[in-house]
Chains A and B, each alone.
Chain A
Amino acid sequence: MNSFFSGTRLRDMIRAIRACKTAAEERAVVRKECAAIRTSINENDHDYRHRNLAKLMFIHMLGYPTHFGQMECLKLIASAGFPEKRIGYLGLMLLLDERQEVLMLVTNSLKQDLNHSNQYIVGLALCALGNICSAEMARDLAPEVERLLQFRDPNIRKKAALCSIRIIRKVPDLAENFINPAAALLKEKHHGVLITGIQLCTDLCKVSPEALEFLRKKHTEGLVRTLKDVVNSPYTPEYDIAGIADPFLHVRLLKLLRALGQGDADSSDAMNDILAQVATKTESNKNAGNAILYECVETIMSIEDNGGLRVLAINILGRFLSNRDNNIRYVALNMLMKAITVDAQAVQRHRATILECVKDSDASIRKRALELVYLLVNETNVKPLTKELIDYLEVSDQDFKGDLTAKICSIVEKFSPEKIWYIDQMLKVLAEAGNFVKDEVWHALIVVISNASDLHGYTVRALYKAFKTSSEQESLVRVAVWCIGEYGDMLMNNVGMLGIEDSVTVTDSDIVDVVEIAIKHHASDLTTKAMALIALLKLSSRFPSCSERIKDIIVHHKGSLVLELQQRSLEFNSIIDKHQNIRSTLVERMPILDEATFTTRRAGSLPAAVSTSGGASLNLPNGAVKPSTSLLVDLLDLSDDVPAAPSSSGGDFLQDLLGVDLSPAPTQSGTNQVQKAGTDVLLDLLSIGAHPVQSSSSTTDILSPIQNEKSPIATLDALLPSSSLSAQATSAKAAPMMDLLDGFSPSPSKPEDNGSVYPPLVAFESSSLRITFNLSKQPGNPQITIVLATFTNLTPNVFTDFIFQAAVPKFLQLHLDPASSNILPASGNGSITQNLRVTNNQHGKKSIVMRTRISYKINNKDTLEEAQINNFPRDL
């Protein structure tokens, strides 16, 4: 006995802690106690071990570290007496969890205690095992627990049953050992054993199809009988709750029956009657009764179809929904979500009530109801439902607005019957809760606006009005700024007035005002300001009279600390100042953004496609953008969030998608896609190529701008190879901009003659077409092969819209330059040439392979040829 250690009693410690007025005081008391406990532990003090651990548990509950007491638990558990073991196991469950190594040390003690002659000690061990056992312990001790399922005392059997649940949850493989002893428990009369046995069977059904099949065959009827007995049992004070005999047993029986009935018509049939009885006879004025009804409804919804029962169930839910108790309404909404898959019509009938629940004062109910409404929307009711939701958006709580906005946007996008409605609704949402709208939502909106050419004027006027009233909503401002930049002239001239509009009189300086407000607003972030600068540049060309003023605003940002803004303002300023002659071409209206591509990209399922076409630029929807200008637009837009900048030259499209570039720039989203694409990349790659024109005309980089923002230099770099090419090809128009690129210019991508030379290779030959590859290497760069592809027409007809596409496996990177033409003259009277650059990352190990697809028109008839090219020399 330790005479000089006299710690305080547990009670005194709790009192001392409670008496503390400040957190610091409390910490001091706890520190002192912990120090005393440590000393006591170090001295291996037996007498106070019990008390020390109790104190540690209290300290633990207050959130202080108590790991130093873990070994004490083990020592207490290992001691012989019941009181020590009791507190030891309690400490074990509180201070440790299954992930701690120390826990393994207790396995042996547990094993001994599971075989102890004192049933209460067995009970303690089962309880601890059931609450914190790890997978290893489960494996080690499963045989003991299995044996205890047949123990003579029911209180041990029920504990062993719950312990088995933990074991099979941790190690599902052990399930089959438990099937028979678990099924035996279903015949018990003791409610505790019955409840736990049923629970164990339910869990077995979840992890083992075998168990499910066995129980379904052998025990469905027995369980139905048990439920019948419980439902009809006379008053038993021991189990009675609100006039119902053991609602817990009811609920668990219904749960197991649900598992058995799901997907099995026979057993579902067997339980029909009793379910009907429970559904009709259970009193619903108390919570216990409602709990049973709720469980019963779920079972009816889940088991195989029985029309009559379902009507009963839906009626119960209807009653729940109109209940004044919030709890009941909550569970009704919860269950209606499941019911909607079973009987959507019946749920629709409650639409009005559900809509009311969206406006409830209770956040939990609102959230449930909103999710339900989301499921209820279809083509026919989308308009009124959306209107209700948007109206509510105005008055809803701030912290609910996020959820609500997301759902409205999603509904509108999914079900919008026409574009004008879509745009109207989105503008309302943006004006009301623009700060909650996610980026991809307003990106999508811009794509839609861009596609609705007849609504450009209407949209820009509506946005202008909305901006006047809600300029604090960031995403509204962005969309407005973008549209004003693009369609500002329509705003002023009331172009494309719809009948429903009031005409507005707006002068050019009003319009510039709006953009100026956006750029100067303190809350505007980088993206908005950058967009505003672009808009200003565009407006300067549309409204020459405001040009000077716009220049002033742009110049104002020359000194911006943000590199992006500074760079833009400097560059734009020089455009306005020095390049009046090309300005209008530079800032032409954006070509229409391609919706299909945007949607695929947004879905994240875009297979990386390689497609290029010499004539793609000619096929652009508005045909206005020439390669040189688009390049510039690209440059100007380089770190912009506008889903813009279609690049018509195939080159940089490729770069974007495949990351074919000398610099390992981390910006190309396409590269990642390729890696994800799995084994048959080639097929994937080509599958999108079916719409080469479309995709090449809309190489909008909607996803990457964000990445680009981080490394504008890399983007510049990424643009290079094609830019140098087109720069050589096009007039001096683009030359001023080339200055920007000079610093980064890599070696020209034209083939160099001083590399090694290979004999020409006939890559493909069919009755109509021959492709020859002239291969060459750049000196000092063995990985890179330059391929000059020459296409020859073998038929007497001219090929038009000629497009060559190629795809390579992951270890290769491919860069295609634009083709020399998209028209292939007949009978070999000329040819198209196209440069390919292949980088072999596994040079020396694998040789190049390529899959190609060639599409062209003969007399306006589409023709498609595909080929795999694997006759490349081995050492490429």
Chain B
Amino acid sequence: MIQFVLLISRQGKVRLTKWYSPYTQKERSKVIRELSGVILTRGPKLCNFVEWRGLKVVYKRYASLYFCMCIDQDDNELEVLEIIHHFVEILDRYFGSVCELDLIFNFHKAYYVLDEILIAGELQESSKKTVARLIAAQDSLVETAKEQASSISNIIAQATK
């Protein structure tokens, strides 16, 4: 099971956190501080796994961002690397060659994408196409709702004139 997902920039700034096991706010900041200390200082040629408090953290760097997933001792590290890559590819498709800034200004969208890939710390969907389709459908729901709202307010505005 994936215990939590972290996206950390090379400067140690947190870009996304998702906790599937309960950690208090205090523990969360401690975990982030500890792990960014360990992961950001590791050299480029080393393996992508770090053992940490009886768990394992699988991380991979994409441009300036480190994608980290913390898993149980007996989970498949190599597969988790694939899950990270899966997530990155879907983000890439969704934002159109994603960069760190996309994730900063549209952080909520990154969360929506993640929620279509993982639930309860387990993989939900292996098809990128399906994920993309589901997100697009929900985004369009939001758009229609917005339009409706604005049109209704227009109507009201006009009616009250």
A-to-B contact residues, CB < 8 Å: 11, 14, 18, 54, 57-58, 61-63, 65, 81-83, 86-87, 90, 93-94, 97-99, 120, 123, 126-127, 130-131, 155, 158-159, 162-163, 165-166, 169, 191-192, 195-196, 199, 238-239, 241, 246-249, 251-252, 255, 287-288, 290-291, 294-295, 298, 326-331, 334, 361-365, 367-368
Contacts and interface: CB of A to CB of B under 8 A. Distances in A.
7 contacts: A14-B104, A14-B105, A93-B18, A94-B17, A248-B79, A291-B82, A330-B77
B78 A291 contact: yes
Contacts of A94: 17-18, 111
Interface in B90-138: 104-105, 107-108, 111-112, 115, 119-120, 122-130, 134, 137-138
A334 B14 CA distance: 30
Nearest to B144: A82
Contacts of B138: 82, 86, 120
Contact of B145 (A82, A327, A365, A368): A82
A248 B82 contact: yes
B82 A327 contact: no
B27 to A, nearest CB: 10
Interface string B64-105: 000000000000111101110010000000000000000011
A86 B142 contact: yes
Q: Which of B79, B123, B128 has the most CB of A within 10 A?
A: B79
B79 A291 contact: yes
B23 A97 contact: yes
Nearest to A162: B119
Contacts of B49: 327, 330, 364
B161 interface: no
Contact of A329 (B17, B47, B123): B47
B108 A57 contact: yes
B111 A195 contact: no
B124 A165 contact: no
B105 to A, nearest CB: 6
Contacts of B134: 123, 155
B35 interface: no
A21 to B, nearest CB: 14
B82 A11 contact: no
Contact of B82 (A238, A287, A368): A287
Given A86-B138, A159-B119, 5 more contacts: A11-B105, A83-B146, A97-B23, A191-B127, A364-B51
A328 B82 CA distance: 14
A238 B141 contact: no
A363 B20 CA distance: 27
Given A62-B14, A295-B79, A330 B127 contact: no
A93 B107 CA distance: 14
B46 interface: yes
A248 B83 contact: yes
B145 A364 contact: no
B122 A90 contact: no
Contact of A248 (B15, B25, B126): B126
B137 A120 contact: yes
Contacts of B40: none
A755 B47 CA distance: 78
Contacts of A334: 77
A62 B17 CA distance: 10
A61 B145 contact: no
B129 A238 contact: yes
Given A159-B119, A327-B48, A192 B127 contact: yes
Nearest to B50: A364
Given A90-B112, A155-B134, A294-B76, A166 B120 contact: yes
B154 interface: no
A238 B93 CA distance: 14
- Taking chain A's interface residues, is the majority helix, strand, or loop, or is none over half, making it mixed? helix
Given A61-B107, A329-B47, A287 B78 contact: yes
Interface string B138-154: 10011001100000000
B127 A327 contact: no
B81 A327 contact: yes
A169 B48 CA distance: 29
Contacts of A251: 76, 79
B141 A82 contact: yes
B16 A61 contact: yes
Contacts of B47: 326-327, 329-330, 362, 364-365
B19 interface: yes
Contacts of B125: 158, 191-192, 195
Contacts of A97: 19, 22-24
B46 A364 contact: yes
Nearest to B74: A298
Interface string B16-52: 1111101111000100100000000001011111110
**Most chain A CB within a 10 A radius of its CB, from B86, B119, B128:** B119
B22 A238 contact: no
Contacts of A90: 108, 111-112, 115
A829 B36 CA distance: 82
Contacts of B51: 364, 367-368
Given A11-B105, A131-B119, A291-B78, A63 B146 contact: no
A334 B71 CA distance: 14
Given A362-B47, A364-B51, A199 B105 contact: no
A326 B46 contact: yes
B29 A295 contact: no
Contacts of A127: 115, 119
A239 B78 contact: no
B117 to A, nearest CB: 10
Contacts of A58: 107
A162 B126 contact: no
A82 B120 contact: no
Contact of A87 (B45, B108, B119): B108
Nearest to B25: A65
B19 A290 contact: no
Nearest to A158: B124
Contacts of A327: 47-49, 77-78, 81
A331 B78 CA distance: 8
B46 A195 contact: no
Contacts of B16: 61
B22 A247 contact: no
A20 to B, nearest CB: 12
B83 A130 contact: no
A323 to B, nearest CB: 11
A238 B127 contact: yes
A61 B78 CA distance: 28
A98 B86 CA distance: 28
Contacts of B29: 63
A56 to B, nearest CB: 11
A63 B28 CA distance: 9
Given A97-B22, A330-B49, A362-B46, A83 B145 contact: yes
A156 to B, nearest CB: 11
Contact of B17 (A61, A83, A294): A61
A19 to B, nearest CB: 13
A81 B145 contact: yes
B36 to A, nearest CB: 12
Nearest to B137: A120
A329 B115 CA distance: 32
Contacts of B141: 82-83, 120
B146 A162 contact: no
A298 B73 CA distance: 13
Nearest to A80: B145
Nearest to B78: A291
A327 B124 CA distance: 25
A238 B89 CA distance: 13
Contacts of B111: 90, 94
Given A82-B145, A94-B111, A294 B78 contact: yes
Contacts of A362: 46-47
A99 B51 CA distance: 27
A165 B1 CA distance: 10
